[in-house]
């Protein structure tokens, strides 16, 4: 086995072999290849094809890729290692204060953009509650250029990332630091807005579901954004629905990402609060994952 001092004499193919030796047991060969190619593209601008055509390609600085290897060994998500990911075709910065955006959430954004063509032409006011990295707010702002988008989060650190993401994607989003569970933290300007669309992907994983989660999620992603108590799993949904009843305009729409096991309870919550045209929607994995309703009264 090579010692670390040998690093500088390696070519990239040999670095790839080291990745397999160190990581295959943990992730499997295919995923390790995928990590390796993502990293050499990001760090050295070397693509999979470049490497195939020039297997003895070398780099001056293997520090970066060997650091990444150590972090992968500790099961850190590749998105945090790179500090960046992609969501709805757009680049997003992420760190330990924000969830890594999920494909299910892209489906929620797609539902809002594609199924409501009138949103493209109307000057809507949209609010994203619990914005995290800002992925929902920023991708909506990018794709609904006539909309004014507001995004709220309790976490200062998450809001810093979300602001960077609005800049990175060249959109304007109004950010608000507040706790949706505590009306006294909302500033007055925000209190008097009347929204046409409210969207949220709040914390919804119950403590009892922890054992089904991957250790890389559990050990790295912010628990503040993930978990709710078993006894009160709809804590955020109750508060946000109440907020929507008071702050949506006539015909305004509420969109949620939801816990796959709580679809029935979510329908009931929206029915009780007199929402109309309620639709529960499954994600690509056939799990109840999204719900929408319209405020008619």
193-230 residues labelled b (16+ CB within 10 A) or e (exposed)? eebbbbbbbbbbbbeebeeeeeebbeebbbebbbbbee
Given 38, 82, 217, 224, the residue binding ligand GLN (CB under 6 A): 217
3-state DSSP assignment of residue 7: helix
Non-local (6+) Cβ contacts of 228 within 8 A are: 203, 204, 205, 206, 207, 234, 235, 236
Number of Cβ atoms within 10 Å of the Cβ of 177: 14
Given 87, 92, 119, 204, the residue binding ligand GLN (CB under 6 A): 204
Given 205, 234, 262, 269, the residue binding ligand GLN (CB under 6 A): 205
Shortest distance in whole angstroms from residue 226 CB to ligand GLN: 5
When the beta carbons of 150 and 256 are compared against ligand GLN, the nearer one is 256
Task: Give the x-and-dash track for 111-140 against ligand GLN (CB under 6 A).
Answer: ------------------------------
Shortest distance in whole angstroms from residue 284 CB to ligand GLN: 13
Determine the Cα angle at 285 with ends 229 and 98, to 5°: 50
Q: Does 203 bind ligand GLN (CB under 6 A)?
A: yes
Q: Does 255 bind ligand GLN (CB under 6 A)?
A: no
Contact by Cβ (8 Å): 165, 134 = yes
Q: Does 235 bind ligand GLN (CB under 6 A)?
A: no
Strands 125-129 and 195-200: parallel
Binding to ligand GLN, residues 75-104 (CB under 6 A): 102, 104
Non-local (6+) Cβ contacts of 59 within 8 A are: 12, 43, 44, 46, 65
| Count of residues near ligand GLN by CB under 6 A | 9
- CA neighbor of 256 nearest in space, from 113, 144, 135, 108: 108
Shortest distance in whole angstroms from residue 8 CB to ligand GLN: 40
Place of tokens 């390790």: 32
When the beta carbons of 20 and 102 are compared against ligand GLN, the nearer one is 102
When the beta carbons of 65 and 254 are compared against ligand GLN, the nearer one is 254
32 Rama sector, left if φ>0, alpha if ψ -120 to 50, beta otherwise: alpha
Shortest distance in whole angstroms from residue 172 CB to ligand GLN: 25
Shortest distance in whole angstroms from residue 162 CB to ligand GLN: 15
Non-local (6+) Cβ contacts of 274 within 8 A are: 245, 295, 296, 297
Give the separation between CA 19 and CA 257, rounded to whole angstroms.
Answer: 36
Shortest distance in whole angstroms from residue 71 CB to ligand GLN: 20
When the beta carbons of 10 and 78 are compared against ligand GLN, the nearer one is 78
Binding to ligand GLN, residues 183-202 (CB under 6 A): 201-202
Given 42, 57, 226, 279, the residue binding ligand GLN (CB under 6 A): 226
When the beta carbons of 121 and 212 are compared against ligand GLN, the nearer one is 212
When the beta carbons of 40 and 262 are compared against ligand GLN, the nearer one is 262
Helix axes 29-44, 12-27, angle to 10 degrees: 140
Give the separation between CA 110 and CA 257, rounded to whole angstroms.
Answer: 12
Q: Which residues are at the interface with ligand GLN (CB under 6 A)?
A: 102, 104, 201-205, 217, 226
């Amino acid at each position: 086995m090579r010692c670390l001092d040998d690093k500088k004499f390696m070519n990239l193919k040999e670095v790839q072999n080291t990745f397999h030796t160190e990581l295959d047991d943990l992730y499997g060969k295919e995923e390790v290849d995928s990590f390796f190619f993502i990293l050499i593209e990001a760090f050295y601008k070397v693509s999979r094809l470049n490497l195939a055509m020039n297997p003895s390609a070398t780099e001056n600085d293997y520090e970066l890729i060997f650091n990444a290897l150590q972090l992968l060994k500790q099961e850190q998500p590749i998105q945090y290692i790179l500090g960046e990911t992609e969501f709805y075709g757009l680049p997003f910065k992420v760190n330990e204060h924000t969830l890594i955006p999920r494909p299910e959430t892209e489906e929620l954004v797609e539902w809002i953009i594609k199924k409501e063509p009138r949103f493209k032409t109307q000057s809507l006011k949209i609010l994203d509650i619990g914005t995290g990295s800002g992925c929902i707010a920023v991708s909506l702002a990018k794709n609904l250029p006539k909309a004014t988008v507001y995004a709220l989060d309790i976490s200062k650190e998450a809001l810093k990332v979300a602001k960077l993401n609005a800049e990175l994607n060249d959109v304007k989003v109004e950010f608000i630091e507040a706790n949706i569970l505590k009306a006294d933290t909302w500033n007055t300007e925000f209190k008097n807005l009347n929204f046409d669309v409210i969207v949220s992907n709040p914390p919804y994983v119950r403590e009892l579901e922890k054992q089904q989660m991957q250790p890389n999620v559990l050990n790295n992603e912010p628990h503040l954004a993930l978990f709710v108590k078993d006894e009160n799993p709809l804590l955020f949904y109750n508060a946000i629905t109440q907020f929507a009843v008071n702050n949506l305009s006539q015909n305004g729409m509420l969109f949620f990402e939801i816990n796959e096991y709580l679809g029935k309870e979510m329908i009931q919550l929206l029915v009780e609060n007199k929402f109309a045209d309620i639709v529960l929607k499954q994600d690509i994995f056939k799990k109840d994952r999204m719900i929408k309703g319209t405020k008619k009264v």
